Amino acid sequence: MPSNNPAFRGLGGAGGGQQYAGWGTAQQQPGQYGAPTQDPYAAPSPYAATTTKYLTMDDVVTKTGLSFLVTVLSAAVVWSLPGDAAWGLAMPAVLVALVLGLVIAFKQIANPIATLSYGALYGVALGAISEAFNTVYPGIVMQALIGTFGVFGGMLIVYKTGAIRVTPKLTRWVLGALVGALVLMVVNFVAYFFMDDGLGIRTDGPLGILFSVVMIGIAAFLLLMDFDMADEAIRRGAPAKFAWYIAFGLLLTVIWLYIEILRLLSYLRD
């Protein structure tokens, strides 16, 4: 069946686009007296074993778990560095991770090295950011982690129970809201050159709190789309390595969700 998700371009139906020939589908060439020159019983059986390994939910869970583990370990190592050494690594890591993430997303790279490298790089940045927030607001990192996993678990339950279905219309709304929010953040960045607080969407005032809540909502709905991508890939018979691309999508969404929750909690503390 056709899909609206661009991640599945090039994937055919079940079995990754492989089509098995049935009995009697071998090419027939007329020979003497109209008899076929090729044995029709030599056609490949539709029940023949295949060497292709297809995507399963175990693949998705394993690869996603490993990606999160690398990110957390990387963040923990950076947090443990003495003094302000973490900040010297944070900015280069963010810039490299940003470029790598764009390459993975647009080229749809399903590769363990790419996904794990992305997780490790952002782990460096998250370690420095988390340490800074926790220094100013003790205990805020643990609260943000609990909130992040709470949203993740809640949206997984919502998806599995079918309370909210990922439809093309919902996808368009979420992506439209995401593009609008990103454009607004760019405008806010430019506004900082002319006003102290920019547009006020990244301050601890009511507008900043509201904007953070909206961003958390968008990230939560992106999780639904990530879950649906995993299910659809399994249904369509994607290759097992596609789990690394799904893991990248989940990792990207969860990292953004964590940062937004961390930011919101800091506003509420203030």
Q: What are the structure tokens assigned to 220, written together? A: 């939560």
Report pLDDT for 33: 46
pLDDT at 7: 52
Domain ranges of the chain: 53-269
Q: pLDDT at position 26, please?
A: 41
Determine the pLDDT at residue 198.
80
Contact between 267 and 212 (Cβ < 8 Å):
yes
- Compute CA distances 64 → 116, 173, 178, 231, 246, whole Å: 10, 26, 23, 14, 8
What pLDDT was estimated at residue 27? Answer: 44
What is the pLDDT at residue 170? Answer: 93
The predicted structure's pLDDT at residue 13:
42
Answer whether 11's CB lies under 8 Å from 236's CB.
yes
Note the pLDDT of residue 25. 40
- Per-residue pLDDT at 32: 47
pLDDT, averaged in runs of 10, over the chain (270 residues): 46 40 41 48 47 85 95 92 78 90 91 94 92 91 95 94 92 94 90 83 87 94 94 92 95 95 91
Closest CA to 258 of 158, 140, 175, 160: 140
What is the DSSP secondary-structure string of 127-138?
HHHHHHHHHHST
